[in-house]
Amino acid sequence: MITKDIWTVDAFTTERYKGNPCAVVFDGDDLSADQMQRIAAEMNLSETVFLLPPTVLEADYRVRIFTPRAELPFAGHPTISAAFAMVLSGRFAPEGKPAIIRQECGAGIIPVEIRGDGESRAFIMTQVQPRFRATNTTRAAVAEALNCPIDDVAEPALEAVSTGVWWSIARLSSPEALAALSPDMGRVGDIGTASQTNGICAFSIGALAKGCSVKLRAFAPHLGVPEDPVTGSANGCVAAYIARHGLMDGGPLRYTAEQGTELGRDGRVSVEVTGEHGTEIVRVGGSAVKVLEGKLFI
């Protein structure tokens, strides 16, 4: 019987049982993809991340990331959780301030900047260069999927954005409209499948939480995640969308986003976008806290 050390980490929060939980499996290089997928299904969290030796000199470690149903090339809260686990377990010793840890994943090398010390430590990932593509989804179809009035959905109805993985981005009229959503998960899943994206991330300019400027909710039912509590990849895509369409003040973009409130898992995400159109650099980050550690029997 094989045993592996396993942690659960709550990402994008400093408070246990808030933010987004992620299972982190150490020393997973002797596990098959099928075993990893079965473990992720057993954990039944939005993602489980496996820590592996790097295959390139530029990286400090490598990860494979699985939802309960599929492997992803990149995801945000597993990246934060993996970097946190590497540091807290002593597998990576930060040097200098800020220190940089480099993660190898299916999307390439993701640099993660480590800011601060102790429980206030934050992990800021530089995501992949934003890409955009149109979708053929109508406002009526988005409104039906999200179960909201059509007037709450801005144009364009959906735009697909990737900063490592693709999300269909929908802008809603207000944070109150976003909070009130009760989506039809079958329709959301159909849109995610048809658009070849993780699902629909709906957002609003303006938030309900103090100190936040943007509110998000992310739905990926066809990946086994009806609603993801706090989503680093979707936050990066929304930030790229906001910058591309000039929805906030000009110049470098910097704000805090809220997500997870409707699930009782309030999270906070720090977001930065610098650079000009076509050369944007998107940084997304937050804190993390360990909730559980134990042995996984395989």
Q: What is the tens place of the pLDDT at every residue in 182-191?
A: 999 999 999 9
Which residue ranges in the chain fall short of pLDDT 50? none
Question: How high is the pLDDT of residue 95?
Answer: 79
Q: Give backbone dihedrals phi and psi of 291, rounded to 5 degrees, phi first.
A: -110, -35
Buried b (16+ CB within 10 A) or exposed e, 202-238: bbbbebebeebbbbbbbbbbbbbbbbbbbbbbbbbbb
Q: Which helix (H) or strand (E) holds 105?
A: strand 99-105
Largest CA distance in the chain: 57
Q: Has this prediction a pTM greater than 0.75? A: yes
Question: Tokens 């029997």, residue?
Answer: 297
> Which residues are registered as beta bridge partners of 294?
6
Question: How high is the pLDDT of residue 117?
Answer: 82
Would you say 203 and 215 are in contact if contact means Cβ atoms under 8 Å apart?
yes
Rounded (5°) CA angle 199-122-261: 45
Question: Catalytic residues, which ones?
Answer: 47
Question: How high is the pLDDT of residue 276?
Answer: 80
Read off the pLDDT of residues 70-108 as tens digits, 9 standing for 90 and up: 999 999 999 999 999 999 999 998 877 789 999 999 999
Q: Which helix (H) or strand (E) holds 241?
A: helix 232-245
Structural domains of the chain, ranges and CATH numbers in brackets: 3-126+287-297 (3.10.310.10), 131-286 (3.10.310.10)
Question: How high is the pLDDT of residue 120?
Answer: 77
